Chain A
Amino acid sequence: MYELSGVTKTYQKGRATVTALDGVDVVIGDGEWLAIQGPTGHGKTTLLQMLGGLDRPTAGVVDFDGQDLAVLRERQVNRVRARSIGFIFQTFNLIPTLSAQENVEAALVPLGTGAAERRVRAAQALADMGLADRASHLPYELSGGQQQRVAIARALVKSPSVLLADEPTGNLDETTRDEIIGLLEKLWHDHGLTLILVTHDSAVAARAQRTGLMRHGRLSIVQDSREPASQAGGSGAL
């Protein structure tokens, strides 16, 4: 699925050069669940953005199913995001003027899906999240957990192969956190998704197959509970 080699990201902050990623090498296999932990400002989110094609590295290769996201044209990266990658954010990032149903439909717009099909698929995705009765609600009319479930429905409605989650439980209470993580785990398991999740929460990270630690822009795997067969699929990550 992913093969990152020497991925480096630097940027200027005033006169200083900040290194957000410092030669990250990692292989993430199909259907793997990788949790990334680390202190704030050590490059977790930047790495997730590289994986999602939202940013380009200063150096290195971000290979996604044989395509280097670092050098693809913007239009091509857009297509990859639209078809294959789902995002979940800490702050849910729902469009405030659109209903839950319309927010989910928005993910199908770049795929050119017709309005009728969009409606059906979005309604089904919301029903899968237990939100069928909240379809017409605007985001502010929903609780944090419900909003995150709408965001998950939006991420999954297009049936992506990868789900990138940036602190998905960061804004939720403990009960809702467990509910959302349970849901993600189920989806990962049922749909064979590749789930890459950034979290500060060790309890969340503990449920992943592998846990990586980001420090000073470098990634190191600190826990790996994959079965030997799966590990082979990861081709000796790191």
Chain B
Amino acid sequence: MFFTYLRRELRRRIRQAVFIALGLAVGIGLVITVMAASTGVAQAQDTVLHALYGVGTDITVTKAPPANSGGPFGFRVGGRGSTSAQRPKAGTKFSRSTLVNRALGPLSSASVTAISRLHGVAAAAGGLALTDLTVSGTIPSAPAGGGGGFGGGFAGPASFKTNTFTVNGTQLSAGEVGPLSSGKLTSGRTFTTADASSDVAVLDSGYATQNKLGTGSTIDVAGTSFKVIGIVSQPQGGNPADVYIPLGRAQALAGMKNQVNTVYVAAGSAAGISSVSRQIHAVVPGATVTTASDLASEVTGSLASAASLARNLGKWLAVAVLAAAFLLASLLSMSAVTRRVREFGTLKALGWRGGRITGQVLGESVVIGIAGGLAGIGLGFAGAALVTALASPLTATPGQATGSATPGGARAFSGGPGGFGGGPGSAGGPGGGFRRLFGDAAGAVTVHLSATVTVGAVLLAVLLAISGGLIAGALGGWRAARLPPAAALARVE
């Protein structure tokens, strides 16, 4: 009787039932679409973050450079044996290459070991993010009474060229975490532990292409020739180093023995990340500990806008539409009950209990809710497909926090007040500092948004549909059940 009565009743007011179901479907479809878009945005963020961090890296540990590290930077043209009194002759050609670490403060290699032993840490690897700076040019004519050495300045117009590329000293024994972990080897091989003290390099594919380098080529790093053993392609958005060399060799060339400037950490579980962060702060005082969520908050551009849109406007829009759909369903259910007052009065006269009548109304509403839910799931999938098809590519610009291990952090580094060159008549001039060296590589990353409907979203939709039906039915049923039968039977239709 329950199902017969339910089926017949729904068939009688099919238009109203369809209308309510469609209302719920729109609300639920919107919820699914917003959730799918949010999932897509999250996946896009993950893509960017993985590229920045390396797959598997949950935390990076860095240190801000010392306060005076951005000061004047000078070098001598005459080689190691020259003195300030031996000014090179005008017209002398020179070229000097050096590895510099100005972006990040040094960390002891021991801190890598200490971090790797912390509770909740799955792996830790040290890295040395450096810049190879090559300055070349011709010595201009000296002014009368000019000081010796490069730092003394030159009166003539500067005719220096600078060439830079980024170098990453990579710890070879921790391949699962670190800057190379997210890269894909396109040619040759990557490092092995046997390469620890070898002059071998792995190049970023972009840099290799740009400079027409390949496996077997050689590249000069800080005046030392390195053999290219492999080419690696990093994910988009990573702003990868141009050249990777063994950490030990980078330390030696940069004069940073037993020092790193980045520690890449993989946590045992996502839940343990905050605990690991706290422990790292304790063992490495003054360190900048950056987690994926910190990094996500530093990402700007339309990806961040989309995330914010999905998080705020999308969520509240979905909630508002869903609430409106629930309200509509409830009102229409109440209205249907009002029209059936005499019917319910008759059933009460036959001895039907209020609970049975409530159950009947509730059953009808739940069926409508489920139909709305199924239609809503369909609409949600369609909405997600539409978002995927119509969404413009999203751009993400990594954060600019000084001291961060991210490429963005490196880009934020400035050469400081003195800039390149030093003193009066300097070659670099004001503001010619290192920002350019690092910052040129900075750029917005384009990520395609793919709205993904998850099982969780579908389950939520079913839950919402049943809830919508229950809410609407409960209100209608409650009203039907509490009608005094005499009053119900007296109602004129």
Using CB atoms, name the residue of chain A closest to B9.
A97
Query: Can you list, as one digit per residue, whether each of B1-19 has a CB less than 8 Å from chain A (1) or not (0)?
Result: 1001100110110000000
Q: Which of A81, A82, A105 contacts B1 (CB 8 A)?
A: A105
- Asked whether B343 is an interface residue with its Cβ less than 8 Å from the other chain, the reply is yes
- Residues of B338-391 at the interface with A, using a CB-CB cut-off of 8 Å, are 342-343, 345-354, 356
Whether B12 contacts A115 by the Cβ 8 Å rule is no
* Closest CB in chain B relative to A159 CB, distance in Å: 13
List the A side residues contacting B349 at CB < 8 Å: 52, 54, 81, 87, 93
List the B side residues contacting A79 at CB < 8 Å: 351
- Asked whether A236 is an interface residue with its Cβ less than 8 Å from the other chain, the reply is no
How many chain B residues touch A (Cβ–Cβ < 8 Å)? 25
A107 to B352, CA, bound (A): 8
Query: Can you list, as one digit per residue, whether each of B217-234 has a CB less than 8 Å from chain A (1) or not (0)?
Result: 000000000000000000
Whether B5 contacts A83 by the Cβ 8 Å rule is no
- Asked whether A102 is an interface residue with its Cβ less than 8 Å from the other chain, the reply is yes
Using CB atoms, name the residue of chain A closest to B12.
A97
Using CB atoms, name the residue of chain A closest to B5.
A98
Whether B486 contacts A154 by the Cβ 8 Å rule is no
List the B side residues contacting A110 at CB < 8 Å: 350-353, 356
* Closest CB in chain B relative to A106 CB, distance in Å: 6
A106 to B343, CA, bound (A): 12
- Asked whether A95 is an interface residue with its Cβ less than 8 Å from the other chain, the reply is yes
- Asked whether A127 is an interface residue with its Cβ less than 8 Å from the other chain, the reply is no
Whether A96 contacts B12 by the Cβ 8 Å rule is yes
A101 to B354, CA, bound (A): 23
Instruction: Indicate whether A97 sits within 8 Å of B1 (C-beta atoms), given known contacts A55-B486, A78-B351.
Output: no
Q: Which of A83, A89, A97, A105 contacts B346 (CB 8 A)?
A: A89
- Asked whether A75 is an interface residue with its Cβ less than 8 Å from the other chain, the reply is yes
Using CB atoms, name the residue of chain B closest to A106.
B350
- Residues of A98-152 at the interface with B, using a CB-CB cut-off of 8 Å, are 98, 102, 105-107, 109-111, 115, 118
Q: Which of B4, B345, B352, B353 contacts A98 (CB 8 A)?
A: B4
Q: Which of B1, B354, B489 contacts A54 (CB 8 A)?
A: B489
User: How many residue-residue contacts, CB under 8 A, span A and B?
Assistant: 80
- Asked whether A49 is an interface residue with its Cβ less than 8 Å from the other chain, the reply is yes
* Closest CB in chain A relative to B82 CB, distance in Å: 105
- Asked whether B485 is an interface residue with its Cβ less than 8 Å from the other chain, the reply is yes
List the A side residues contacting B489 at CB < 8 Å: 49, 54, 89, 93
How many chain A residues touch B (Cβ–Cβ < 8 Å)? 31
Query: Can you list, as one digit per residue, whether each of A42-68 has a CB less than 8 Å from chain B (1) or not (0)?
Result: 000110010010110000000000000
* Closest CB in chain B relative to A23 CB, distance in Å: 19
List the A side residues contacting B353 at CB < 8 Å: 75, 78, 110
A201 to B9, CA, bound (A): 36
- Residues of A74-96 at the interface with B, using a CB-CB cut-off of 8 Å, are 74-75, 78-79, 81-83, 87, 89, 91, 93, 95-96
A78 to B352, CA, bound (A): 7
Instruction: Indicate whether A109 sits within 8 Å of B1 (C-beta atoms), given known contacts A78-B351, A82-B350, A96-B12.
Output: yes
Instruction: Indicate whether A49 sits within 8 Å of B486 (C-beta atoms), given known contacts A97-B11, A98-B5, A106-B1.
Output: yes
* Closest CB in chain B relative to A8 CB, distance in Å: 15
- Asked whether B484 is an interface residue with its Cβ less than 8 Å from the other chain, the reply is yes
A89 to B345, CA, bound (A): 12
Please report whether the interface of chain B is mostly helix, strand, loop or mixed according to DSSP: helix
Whether B350 contacts A81 by the Cβ 8 Å rule is yes
Please report whether the interface of chain A is mostly helix, strand, loop or mixed according to DSSP: helix
List the B side residues contacting A97 at CB < 8 Å: 5, 8-9, 11-12
Whether B351 contacts A82 by the Cβ 8 Å rule is yes
Whether A98 contacts B346 by the Cβ 8 Å rule is no
Q: Which of A54, A118, A154 contacts B348 (CB 8 A)?
A: A54
List the A side residues contacting B342 at CB < 8 Å: 91, 93
* Closest CB in chain A relative to B29 CB, distance in Å: 30
Whether B346 contacts A93 by the Cβ 8 Å rule is yes
Whether A111 contacts B351 by the Cβ 8 Å rule is yes
A92 to B194, CA, bound (A): 97
Whether B351 contacts A74 by the Cβ 8 Å rule is no
Using CB atoms, name the residue of chain A closest to B352.
A110
List the B side residues contacting A83 at CB < 8 Å: 351
Using CB atoms, name the residue of chain A closest to B488.
A54
- Residues of A154-203 at the interface with B, using a CB-CB cut-off of 8 Å, are 154
* Closest CB in chain A relative to B483 CB, distance in Å: 11
List the B side residues contacting A96 at CB < 8 Å: 12, 343
Using CB atoms, name the residue of chain B closest to A138.
B8
List the B side residues contacting A107 at CB < 8 Å: 350-351
* Closest CB in chain A relative to B243 CB, distance in Å: 80
Using CB atoms, name the residue of chain B closest to A79.
B351
Query: Can you list, as one digit per residue, whether each of A9-31 has a CB less than 8 Å from chain B (1) or not (0)?
Result: 00000000000000000000000
A174 to B486, CA, bound (A): 28
* Closest CB in chain A relative to B7 CB, distance in Å: 9
Query: Can you list, as one digit per residue, whether each of B472-493 has a CB less than 8 Å from chain A (1) or not (0)?
Result: 0000000000001110011000
Whether A102 contacts B350 by the Cβ 8 Å rule is no
Q: Which of A54, A105, A109, A118 contacts B486 (CB 8 A)?
A: A54
List the A side residues contacting B12 at CB < 8 Å: 96-97
Whether A81 contacts B351 by the Cβ 8 Å rule is yes
Interface centre among A54, A111, A115 (most CB of B within 10 A): A54
A27 to B485, CA, bound (A): 24
- Residues of B137-176 at the interface with A, using a CB-CB cut-off of 8 Å, are none
29 residue pairs bridging A and B, Cβ less than 8 Å apart = A45-B490, A49-B489, A52-B349, A54-B348, A55-B486, A75-B353, A78-B353, A79-B351, A81-B348, A81-B349, A81-B350, A82-B350, A93-B343, A93-B346, A95-B5, A96-B12, A97-B8, A97-B12, A98-B8, A106-B1, A106-B5, A106-B350, A106-B352, A107-B350, A109-B1, A109-B350, A110-B351, A110-B356, A115-B1
Additional A-B contacts beyond A93-B346, A102-B4, A102-B5 (10; CB < 8 A): A54-B484, A78-B352, A78-B353, A93-B349, A95-B5, A95-B343, A106-B350, A106-B352, A109-B352, A118-B1
- List residues of B whose CB falls within 8 A of some A CB: 1, 4-5, 8-9, 11-12, 342-343, 345-354, 356, 484-486, 489-490
Closest 9 CB pairs of A and B: A82-B351, A97-B8, A55-B486, A110-B351, A93-B346, A81-B351, A54-B485, A54-B486, A49-B486
